[in-house]
Amino acid sequence: MTQRTALVTGGTGGIGTAIIRYLAGQGHRVASNYRDADKAERWRKAMADDGIDVLMVPGDVSDPASCQAMVKAIEAQAGPVDILVNNAGITRDTTFHKMSYEQWTDVINTNLNACFNVTRPVIEGMRARKWGRIVQISSINGQKGQYGQANYAAAKAGMHGFTISLAQENAKFGITVNTVSPGYVGTDMVMAVPEEVREKIVAQIPVGRLGKPEEIAHAVAFFTTDQASWITGANLAINGGHYMGW
């Protein structure tokens, strides 16, 4: 297997950490971003204790200039980014008639505009080298919508529109672009939801439980392999059967 440099945004979060573990396990150099240096250093040390060396650079995915600097710093220290996982994300839930402009733009900037901000500085290099793997972490709620999440569902649905256009533009350059749409996974993002709401969610999941971050990471890692070179423009739902639309 060829060792490559992988950038996973939001690596310190629940799903990001699992993706980084998987990609490191495949032998890749792994990098991620941080906004809070102390938090990032604690996380980096914990990963190092497990034998996983993660290059951490400052970066706010909602800010184009910050992302250009982030990619430049990673490429200077670890070489060109061949694998990109657009994973960082936030929620600012409320029904639309009560939603502020800030709640709307924060979510669009962090989940959707981040795809431009982070992918734009790496795509030309991938095209020149004729190899690349880009994976968007979208959401079940981008596929089916969700009460109280017009901002998040719009951003997450937009991520797949981005995927299928980028996939077409770059297929001839050895670059695959895919989306993974997780259902409800037991990370901080979902554990912040009130318990009674979570219980109602779990009751709607045919498999009968929340997902595990590793179950998302496994699929992301699969998309990044050489063997997955004929899979592009896909949107893989991983949700315990919660939504089976196509």
* Footprint on this chain of ligand NDP (rule: CB under 6 A): 9-10, 12-16, 33, 35-36, 39, 59-62, 87-90, 110, 137, 139, 182, 184-185, 187-190
Q: Cβ 129 to ligand NDP, closest distance in Å?
A: 26
- Share of the chain residues as helix, strand and coil, in percent rounded to the nearest 5: 50, 15, 30
Residue 167 Cβ, how far from ligand NDP at the closest point, in Å?
Answer: 19
Cα distances (Å, whole numbers) of residue 42 to 47, 89, 115, 191? 9, 20, 27, 21
Question: Which residues are part of the catalytic machinery?
Answer: 152
DSSP state of 111: I
233: exposed, middle or buried (C-beta count within 10 Å: 0-12, 13-18, 19+)? middle
Nearest-approach distance from CB 136 to ligand NDP, in angstroms: 9
Q: Cβ closer to ligand NDP: 5 or 86?
A: 86
Pick the closer one to ligand NDP by CB: 127 or 144: 144
Tokens 């032998």 belong to residue: 27
Burial class (CB in 10 A: 0-12, 13-18, 19+), 48: exposed
Residue nearest to ligand NDP (CB): 13
Q: For residues 131 and 162, which CB has a smaller minimum distance to ligand NDP in the complex?
A: 162
Nearest to 184 by CA among 223, 144, 133, 224: 144
User: Up-side HSE of residue 109: CA atoms within 13 Å toward CB?
Assistant: 14
Give me the phi and psi of 121, to 5 degrees please: -70, -10
Closest approach of Cβ 148 to ligand NDP, in Å? 14
Nearer to ligand NDP, 38 or 196 (CB): 38
